[in-house]
Amino acid sequence: MEDEGTGGLRGDAPRLDGFFERGSLVSVSARTGNDLRGLVCEADGRGLLLDVRDPSGDPGGYEFLPWSSIERVTTEG
């Protein structure tokens, strides 16, 4: 039986506390037009710190994105 207020939400739907968990693989669309893919290092009130990965999965450095620069974040895991 579904909880009231979930309206058909899948049982495996992430929560914010798990979505931005250290080591989660995410893709980020930034307002600058850049799309980044990487592992979450940390997320706090200031923004999101990623261990950026290139399309082959190799590390490409670290990128800090303030929340105001982020349009969308999707999980890949």
Spatial separation of the C-alpha atoms in residues 33 and 66, rounded to whole Å: 14
Is residue 22 in some structural domain? yes
Spatial separation of the C-alpha atoms in residues 28 and 9, rounded to whole Å: 23
Is residue 9 in some structural domain? no
Whichever domain contains 36, its CATH number is 2.30.30.100
* Residue 4 vs residues 1, 9, 11, 17, 32: alpha-carbon distances, Å: 9, 10, 13, 21, 39
Domain span at residue 39 reads 16-75
Counting the structural domains of the chain, the total is 1
Structure tokens at 28: 């980020």
Is residue 3 in some structural domain? no
Is residue 33 in some structural domain? yes
Is residue 8 in some structural domain? no
Spatial separation of the C-alpha atoms in residues 21 and 55, rounded to whole Å: 22
One digit per residue, the tens of pLDDT, for the chain of length 77 reads: 444 456 688 877 777 777 789 999 999 999 888 899 999 999 999 999 999 998 888 888 999 999 999 999 998 76
